[in-house]
Amino acid sequence: MTAPRVLLVSKPLAPPWNDGGKVVPRDVALHGAGAVFHVLVPRGASFPRRDVVAEPVYRGAGAFAPGLVENARVLARLCRREPEVDLLHFFFAPNPRTCAAARVALRLRRRPAVQTILSRPARMEGVGRLLFGDRVVALSHAAAAAVRAAGGRVDRVIPPGLDAAAVDREAGPAREEEDEPVVLFPGDPGPPGGARELVRAFALMAREVSGARLVLAMRAKTASAAAEAEALRREARALGLEGRAEVLGEVPEFRARLRSASIVALPAADLRGKLDYPYVLLEAMALGRPVVVSALPSLVELLALGGGDAPGLAAPVGDVEALARALERLLRDPSERRARGAAGAALVRDRLDPRAAAASYVELYRELA
């Protein structure tokens, strides 16, 4: 059978690889055997796999949300026949603008399409109208259930993968845990990221556990990020955490920070704009770090994915006292931290191989092509 030619429609596939919306399609193109991939990159950029056709559509590596001009450039490429492909694979959160553009392109090109729901829309009502693919893929069973409950269709669940060996290399050599254990928050500063709840929970917990530190390493994904970070600093000072809580922006050598953490906490109220299995949690687990998360359905599913010991603990959404108890439990028991960290590393290694995810997508391409 001739290898299908597949155009991956996504954010620009170029460094920095700090966005799950770029990493998932990148890994499909890197590891998918039996298909010829075309990917959208910035001008002058190449792609790590030499037999992938890199199409210079974007002007730059881009922000977390490409602007109108960049989206228009992508639409122009979709409507152009050359270079020809057999099918299109879209990687976006369902939204009216992307849906309308995709439908226009598909009517003109008359090509089948795969649509991967990278993250859930802000509102699930009417989500079925935003699903245009001949095959629709969710990243978790929880997301698939939510889409179906809202009247949408999901044909396959394909969890994201993670190249654990690459993450391990970039994180550098393992180090002994510091005398002062560190709770690391790698999320967004404003709601619904959970940063404020974590600061309050840490303040409660700090009354019982001395010596621990809280580090909030947060990317500026929105214009309000700086103001939200400053509000967190004021709240930490008001709660008596001067010297014990550090509010940072995006940090260099982030994976080394993950490796040196004692606990990685992401108590988000929802996962809007994130993968159902947030990529940063997969990285933390691959590095043997136990995690503390909110009990959102897809995060509970992730913790149970290994079938044995869970790689972390979940607290009810918004329950600051339960979050404090989870942090205290792990900080008081280094052996439990090590056991849950080892369980997370095994889960990523055994259940979330990016090669398996890519092979599942290639199977879909063959069905359609």
255's tokens: 């994976």
230's tokens: 């400053």
**CB neighbours of residue 125 within 10 Å:** 9
State yes or no: cis peptide before 83, omega within 30 of 0.
yes
pLDDT at 57: 94
135: Cβ contacts below 8 Å, ≥ 6 apart = 112, 113, 114, 115, 155, 156, 364, 367, 368
Which residues make beta-bridge pairs with 216?
A: 185, 247
Check: CB of residue 315 under 8 Å from CB of residue 291.
no
Share of the chain above pLDDT 90, in %: 73
Q: How far apart are CA 63 and CA 182, in angstroms?
A: 30
The more confidently predicted of residues 282 and 273 is 282
pLDDT-derived band of residue 185, with 50, 70 and 90 as boundaries? very high
Whole-number average pLDDT of the chain = 92
Average pLDDT over residues 177-204: 90
Share of the chain above pLDDT 70, in %: 97
Long-range pairs for 268-271: beta carbons < 8 A, 24 or more residues apart: 268/187, 268/188, 268/192, 268/193, 268/194, 268/293, 268/294, 268/296, 269/191, 269/192, 269/193, 269/194, 269/197, 269/294, 269/317, 269/318, 270/192, 270/296, 271/119, 271/120, 271/296, 271/298, 271/299
State the chain's maximal CA–CA distance in angstroms. Answer: 66
pLDDT at 178: 59
pLDDT at 174: 74
Q: Name the residue ranges covered by the structural domains of the chain.
A: 5-161+353-368, 164-351
Residue 189 has pLDDT above 80, yes or no: yes
pLDDT at 144: 97
CATH number, span 5-161+353-368: 3.40.50.2000
Residue 12 has pLDDT above 70, yes or no: yes
Average pLDDT over residues 158-181: 86
Residue 143 has pLDDT above 80, yes or no: yes
Q: What is the pLDDT of residues 293-335, one digit of tens each?
A: 999 999 999 999 988 889 999 999 999 999 999 999 999 999 9
CATH superfamily name and code, 164-351: Glycogen Phosphorylase B; (3.40.50.2000)
The more confidently predicted of residues 339 and 63 is 339
Rounded to the nearest 10 degrees, what angle do helices 334-351 and 279-286 cross at? 110
Check: CB of residue 260 under 8 Å from CB of residue 178.
yes
pLDDT at 183: 97
pLDDT-derived band of residue 208, with 50, 70 and 90 as boundaries? confident
Residue 97 has pLDDT above 70, yes or no: yes
pLDDT-derived band of residue 63, with 50, 70 and 90 as boundaries? low
Residue 207 has pLDDT above 90, yes or no: no
**CB neighbours of residue 191 within 10 Å:** 13
Do 5-161+353-368 and 164-351 show the same overall fold?
A: yes
Q: How far apart are CA 342 and CA 355, in angstroms?
A: 22
Residue 250 has pLDDT above 80, yes or no: yes
Average pLDDT over residues 173-190: 83
CA angle 90, 147, 129 (to 5 degrees): 65
State yes or no: cis peptide before 16, omega within 30 of 0.
yes
Residue 190 has pLDDT above 90, yes or no: no
pLDDT at 151: 94
Q: What is the pLDDT of residues 219-230, one digit of tens each?
A: 777 778 889 999
**CB neighbours of residue 75 within 10 Å:** 19
